[in-house]
Structure 1
Amino acid sequence: MILLHGDGDPTTPEGLRALYAPPRLPWLRVNMVSSLDGAATGSDGRSGTVNNEADGTVFHVLRELADVIVVGAGTATAETYGPAGVPIVIVSRSGRIPAGLRGAERGSVRLATVTDSPGLDDARSELGEDNVYVTGATEVDLATLVARLHEEGMRHVLSEGGPALLGSMLAAGVVDELCHTITPRLLAGDGGRIVAGPPTDVPVRLRTLIEHEGTLMACWLVAR
Structure 2
Amino acid sequence: MRLLLDSRSPSASGTVGDDDLARLYAWPEGGGVRANFVSTLDGSAVGGDGRSGSINTEADGRVFHLQRELADCVLVGAGTARAEGYRRGSTPLFVVSGRGHLPESLATGEGDVVLVTCAASGREPADDVWVEGDTEVDLRSVVARLHDAGMPCVLAEGGPSLFHDLLDAGLVAELALTMAPRLVGGDGTRVVAGSPLDGRSGFDTEVVHLLEEDGSLLTLWRLTS
Coarse TM-score class (shorter-chain normalised): over 0.9
Q: 1:10, 1:19 within 8 Å by CA — same for their partners in 2?
A: no
Q: Provide the C-alpha distance between the structure 2 equivalents of 1:205 and 1:83, rounded to a whole number of angstroms.
A: 33
Return the match for 1:68 from 70, 73, 86: 73
1:69-95 deviation per Cα after TM superposition (whole angstroms, max 9, x unaligned)? 000000000000001211100000011
Q: 2:120, 2:136 within 8 Å by CA — same for their partners in 1?
A: no
Q: Answer yes or no: is 1:31 the counterpart of 2:31.
A: no
Partner of 2:135: 138
1:23-57 deviation per Cα after TM superposition (whole angstroms, max 9, x unaligned)? 21122101000100011011111000011100001
Q: CA deviation at 1:10?
A: 5.8
Q: Provide the C-alpha distance between the structure 1 equivalents of 2:189 and 2:108, rounded to a whole number of angstroms.
A: 32
Q: CA deviation at 1:20?
A: 0.4
Q: Provide the C-alpha distance between the structure 1 equivalents of 2:168 and 2:192, rounded to a whole number of angstroms.
A: 11
SS at structure 1 position matched to 2:203: coil
Q: Answer yes or no: is 1:113 the counterpart of 2:117.
A: yes
- In the TM superposition, structure 1's runs of 4+ consecutive aligned residues that sit over 3 Å from their partners are 7-10
Question: Kindly, what percent of the aligned residue pairs are identical?
Answer: 47
Q: CA deviation at 1:147?
A: 0.3
- 1:153-168 correspondence runs (5 A): 153-168=150-165
1:51-70 deviation per Cα after TM superposition (whole angstroms, max 9, x unaligned)? 11000010011001001000
SS at structure 1 position matched to 2:127: helix
In the alignment, structure 2 segments of 5+ residues that lack a partner are none
Aligned amino acid, residue 174 of structure 2:
E
Partner of 2:208: 207
In the alignment, structure 1 segments of 5+ residues that lack a partner are none
What TM-score do you get using the length of structure 2 for normalisation? Answer: 0.92
Return the match for 1:84 from 83, 89, 92: 89
Q: Provide the C-alpha distance between the structure 2 equivalents of 1:20 and 1:92, rounded to a whole number of angstroms.
A: 28
What TM-score do you get using the length of structure 1 for normalisation? Answer: 0.92
Q: 1:83, 1:108 within 8 Å by CA — same for their partners in 2?
A: yes
Q: 1:28, 1:157 within 8 Å by CA — same for their partners in 2?
A: yes
Aligned amino acid, residue 176 of structure 2:
C
Q: CA deviation at 1:104?
A: 3.5
Count of matched residue positions in the alignment of Structure 1 and Structure 2: 216
Q: Answer yes or no: is 1:150 the counterpart of 2:147.
A: yes
Q: Provide the C-alpha distance between the structure 2 equivalents of 1:216 and 1:174, rounded to a whole number of angstroms.
A: 25
Q: 2:74, 2:155 within 8 Å by CA — same for their partners in 1?
A: yes
Relative to its length, the structure with more helix (as a share) is 1
Q: Provide the C-alpha distance between the structure 2 equivalents of 1:30 and 1:115, rounded to a whole number of angstroms.
A: 26
Return the match for 1:194 from 187, 191, 196: 191
RMSD, aligned CA: 1.4
1:76-117 deviation per Cα after TM superposition (whole angstroms, max 9, x unaligned)? 000000012111000000110011100245x70001111011
1:112-138 deviation per Cα after TM superposition (whole angstroms, max 9, x unaligned)? 1110115x25xx6xxxx1221111111
Q: Provide the C-alpha distance between the structure 2 equivalents of 1:141 and 1:113, rounded to a whole number of angstroms.
A: 9
Partner of 2:21: 16
Q: CA deviation at 1:22?
A: 1.1
